[in-house]
Amino acid sequence: MEKIEEALSYNFKNHSLLEEALTHPSISKQHSEGKGYFNYERFEFLGDSVLGLVIAELLIHKFPDEKEGELAKRLAGLVRGDVVATVARKLNIGEFIRMTQGEEVMGGRDNESNVENTLEAIIGAIYIDSGIEGAREFICKHWEQIADEMKEPPKDPKTELQEWAQGRGLPIPEYKVVNTTGPSHNPHFEMSVKVEGLDIATAQGASKKKAEKEAAKQLLKIIKEEKSEQ
């Protein structure tokens, strides 16, 4: 507990909150009173909302002249999975996750979904432990520089691809599930995206939404490479 609190620069009043936030569903166990399960999933649900709220507040103050649409793009760019996972890896979160040996052998300590979910759960735990002020201090410490480095509101890959297609009079991109693998507590999706006149692009992710974004990103990369060759 001391090592991870040092990494987080936050000391918990209630260490059972931190313990639950660090528990992977692979070793989930039922609470002694028989209510719910002891793993990071519930705190992840809370932490995801707290992260969005604090980042939205941060952006309101940082960019007073931007409209709602631009702020929404910045928010989406700051709370997306790969950004959360990058912050988690800087804090060495994977080192502290409690998981089964099987999950660890499968690369669970560096799995993007695992470290992302755990960090969001830690944010939820901090919120319960010390309220919005504690959560705000923690989030701003690790996200403010990322927000400052975002010079322009980023475009979501799916939005960018749709705008590209519509700008050429083409139907909107079509996404389909190609395959689903992994255990129920940690599924992995392979999604495809098709735009008329282009080859199909596929990508994988810890959720359908993430896989769709990656597939759109892959197709945009192909489009830009073909354009540069012309």
Any idea which residues carry the catalytic annotation? 48, 120
Distance from C-alpha of 143 to C-alpha of 77, rounded to nearest angstrom: 11
Q: How far apart are CA 7 and CA 76, in angstroms?
A: 26
How far, in Å, are 30, 55, 138, 179, 210 from residue 51 at the CA level? 27, 6, 10, 30, 18
Residue 128: both structure tokens together: 């319960």
- Which residues lie below 8 Å from residue 90, measured CB to CB, with a gap of 6+? 142
Radius of gyration for the alpha carbons in the chain, expressed in angstroms and rounded: 20
| Pairwise CA distance, residues 204 & 209, whole Å | 10
